[in-house]
Amino acid sequence: MIKTSSKKELIKKIRTERTRLSNVWLQIPKERLTTPGVVGDWSVKDLLSLICWSEHKIVGLIHTHKLTDAKIWELSDLERATIIIDRAKDRPFIEVRAEANQLIHEVLTAINKLDVSELDDPAGFQGLPAGYTPRQFIAANTYERYKAHLPDLQAWLNKGS
C-alpha cells in the first residue's frame, strides 16, 4: 500500500485517478454500460456500483469516525462485491452514474475537513480493518481501486471498438 505524505497529495491522487477512470467510462457506448463482461459477469454499472459503495463508506467513516457494515468488510473482496452488486442490480445506470458524480465531491470535501493527523491515527476510527490507518483505508478504497479497474474498463472500451 502506498503511503501518501500529505492530505493535499491524497486528494490530488484521488482526483487524478478518478478523472482517469471517468474519462474511460464516459467513452463506453451507452448500450454496453450494463452488458456483463468487463470483469467476469460484471458490467460497467456493476463496477461503478462497487466504487459508489466504497466511496459512500469512506464519507461515512470520515463523518462519524466509525466504519459501518463492519461484518461485510470481513468477507473476501469477491464475496463483498457480489453482495454489493446484487443490492444495486435494479438501479438504472443513470442513477448510479449520478451518485458517482456526487460521491466523489463528498469524498474530497470530507477528506479536506479532516486534520492531517487523523489520517494516520486508526485509534480515532472505530471498525477499521486491522493494519489499516484511515489514510491507507481511504487510498485502498478510492484511487487504488480506480487504478485497479482502469485496465478492465479500457479493455472493455477497446473490445467494442
C-alpha closest to that of 39 among 82, 92, 93:
82
pTM score:
0.91
Identify the CATH number of the domain in which residue 104 sits: 1.20.120.450
Task: Note the pLDDT of residue 120.
Answer: 93
> Residue 121 domain-assigned?
yes
* Number of separate domains in the chain: 1
> Residue 32 domain-assigned?
no
What DSSP designation does 116 have? G
> Residue 67 domain-assigned?
yes
> Residue 94 domain-assigned?
yes
Which residue range is the domain that position 72 belongs to? Answer: 7-27+37-159
Task: Note the pLDDT of residue 4.
Answer: 45
Q: What is the pLDDT of residues 1-27, one digit of tens each?
A: 444 468 999 999 999 999 999 999 999
- For 32, 38, 85, 120, the CA distances from 47, given in Å and listed in that order, are 13, 8, 8, 28
> Residue 1 domain-assigned?
no
> Residue 57 domain-assigned?
yes
Task: Note the pLDDT of residue 130.
Answer: 87
Task: Note the pLDDT of residue 5.
Answer: 63
Q: What is the pLDDT of residues 26-77, one digit of tens each?
A: 999 999 999 999 999 999 999 999 999 999 999 999 999 999 887 898 899 8
> Residue 142 domain-assigned?
yes
Q: What is the pLDDT of residues 72-119, one digit of tens each?
A: 988 998 999 999 999 999 999 999 999 999 999 999 999 999 999 999
> Residue 96 domain-assigned?
yes
Measure the CA–CA gap between 19 and 17, rounded to whole angstroms. 5
